[in-house]
Amino acid sequence: MRQATVERKTKETQIRTTVGLDGTGVYKVATGIGFLDHMLEQLSRHSLIDLEVEAKGDLHIDFHHTTEDTGIAIGQAVSQALGDRGGIVRYGSAMIPMDETMTRVSLDASNRPYLIWKVDFSKPKLGEMDTELFKEWFQAFAQAAGLTLHVENLYGENNHHIVESCYKGLARALRQAIEIDPRQAGRIPSTKGSL
């Protein structure tokens, strides 16, 4: 199995995460932020990546450091588990409907991180979590995982549905991109010879 464990310790957070790219979507997530836990569970379940996350952070200040650092740690683990990225499909995309909401996610596991985020919210918070932190998580994850990642909410009204469709879209696109392509026969999917 392609798997990796990352520990990230700073003065603001302590995070340990393990990913198994060839899993079945089994998860055990505890960040101290209920809504973030819910989203990471969606990411695991719909990507079929086994995911364990244990995070302790300075939640008495706000949720920013824990959210961002969790994205970094999970992204680093995904990148490590991918190794040289030989044999993978590389590209993935998904259109995710969730009731009145539709979100499109496309990605390239190119090892050239970039985020395009076209997602707007009508409320500043979902539960206790600031909605502006979702972009921070996706940015941190894309950077650490080495993904060119485009996330675009095409329409929607319910902020919960909008966010959840973004995570489910990431999950499905990631699942496609990291699949082993038997026709690649282990080759790097690039004319450069490396990613």
Q: Phi, psi (5° rounding) for residue 117?
A: -125, 105
What is the model's pLDDT at position 187? Answer: 95
What is the pLDDT averaged over residues 78-103? 98
Q: Is residue 188 part of a domain?
A: no
Report if residue 173 sits inside a domain. yes
Distance from C-alpha of 109 to C-alpha of 107, rounded to nearest angstrom:
6
**Cross-strand pairs, 110:** none
Closest alpha carbon to 179 in 106, 92, 94, 88: 88
61 — pLDDT class (breaks 50, 70, 90): very high
Residue 191 in any domain: the answer is no
Distances (CA, A) of 36 to 59, 114, 128: 13, 22, 10
- Reply yes or no on whether the pLDDT at 115 is more than 90: yes
pLDDT at 1 over 90: no
The chain-wide mean pLDDT, for the chain, equals 97
In tens, the pLDDT along 9-47 reads: 999 999 999 999 999 999 999 999 999 999 999 999 999
Q: What is the pLDDT of residue 139?
A: 98
Q: Is the model's pLDDT at 132 over the cut of 90?
A: yes
Q: Is residue 193 part of a domain?
A: no
> How many structural domains compose the chain?
1
Task: Tell me whether residue 130 is in a domain.
Answer: yes
Which pTM does this prediction carry? 0.97
Domain assignment of residue 61, given as a range = 3-178
Does residue 116 lie within any of the structural domains?
yes
Element holding 69 (H helix, E strand) = helix 64-82
Six-digit token pair at 9?
Answer: 């310790």
What CATH number does the domain containing 51 carry? 3.30.230.40
In a domain? residue 184: no
SS3 79: helix
- Is 118 part of a structural domain of the chain? yes
